[in-house]
């Protein structure tokens, strides 16, 4: 479950963000705050996973508020002012959404917050282990949340991409290049114009083929250097 806080002085913005979040599983509104001082008071008593933060607010501006937090949660900026984007990235915000933003753009931002969660430390106890990294994928009119570590490989199919996991295959209306932009190169490797594989699921590499279990994935000539980079060849 992702507990989120909306900080914005416009009621319409709250409605839009909450409406988008309601389309996704495991998104729980913690509180709607209409100025930064209200948010500070709430955060002094409660923890949240994610903040949707407007910048141009009365009394205390968005980035001024952010600088007051010693251990801020993940932050997605939602603003009508593009000129502050650089400052936002210097403050390590996850993403910068320029109003008005579409649901698809919103979804990419939310996915960044879950994909950037560090992998658990092998020596961690169950109480200290980080939550699994997940991603929301849209199949038809459904939004499916899956664990990143369950994805074995991606296969291009026209304007769609098949996401093959250990449990199911999901068809996403995105090109494979667009979907890979949402994933970390530490986890996934494009090995062919039509295929990308999860490094952790590779069973073996033989000649110009990658094996994931019994499945054979071809290695394209243009992508052979990518594969050589992980095997030291």
How does residue 49 score in pLDDT terms, banded at 50, 70 and 90?
Answer: very high
For residues 123 and 82, the model is more confident at 82
Cβ partners under 8 Å of residue 207, min gap 6: none
- What is the model's pLDDT at position 112? 86
CATH of domain 146-231: 2.40.50.1020
- What is the model's pLDDT at position 153? 94
**Average pLDDT of span 97-107:** 92
- Tell me: pLDDT of 124 over 90: no
**Average pLDDT of span 186-209:** 91
Query: pLDDT digits over 131-170, tens only?
Result: 468 888 888 878 888 888 999 999 998 889 999 999 899 9
For residues 49 and 181, the model is more confident at 49
Max CA separation in the chain (angstroms)? 64
- What is the model's pLDDT at position 6? 97
How does residue 5 score in pLDDT terms, banded at 50, 70 and 90?
Answer: very high
Q: What is the pTM of this model?
A: 0.67
| Percent share of the chain, pLDDT over 70 | 89
Across 26-35, 78-87, 92-101, 123-132, least confident range: 123-132
- What is the model's pLDDT at position 91? 76
- What is the model's pLDDT at position 123? 40
What ranges do the domains of the chain cover? Answer: 2-115, 146-231
CATH of 2-115, one of 3.30.420.10, 3.30.1490.20, 3.40.630.30, 3.40.50.2300: 3.40.50.2300
Average pLDDT, the chain: 85
């Amino acid at each position: 479950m992702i507990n989120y806080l909306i900080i914005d002085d416009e009621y319409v913005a709250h409605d839009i963000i909450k409406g988008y979040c309601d389309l996704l599983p495991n998104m729980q509104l913690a509180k709607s705050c209409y100025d930064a001082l209200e948010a500070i008071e709430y955060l002094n008593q409660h923890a949240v996973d994610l903040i949707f933060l407007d910048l141009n607010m009365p009394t205390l501006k968005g980035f001024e508020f952010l600088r007051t937090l010693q251990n801020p949660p993940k932050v997605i900026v939602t603003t009508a002012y593009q000129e502050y984007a650089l400052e936002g990235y210097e403050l390590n915000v996850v993403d910068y959404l320029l109003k008005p933003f579409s649901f698809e753009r919103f979804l990419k931002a939310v996915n960044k917050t879950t994909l950037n969660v560090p992998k658990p430390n092998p020596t961690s106890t169950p109480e200290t282990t980080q939550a699994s990294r997940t991603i929301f994928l849209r199949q038809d009119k459904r939004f499916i949340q899956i664990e990143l570590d369950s994805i074995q490989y991606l296969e291009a199919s026209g304007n769609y991409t098949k996401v093959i996991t250990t449990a199911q295959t999901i068809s996403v209306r995105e090109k494979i290049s667009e979907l890979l932009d949402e994933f970390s190169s530490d986890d996934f490797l494009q090995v062919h114009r039509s295929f990308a594989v999860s490094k952790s699921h590779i069973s073996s590499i033989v000649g110009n083929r990658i094996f994931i279990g019994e499945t054979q994935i071809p290695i394209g000539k243009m992508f052979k250097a990518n594969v050589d980079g992980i095997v030291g060849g």
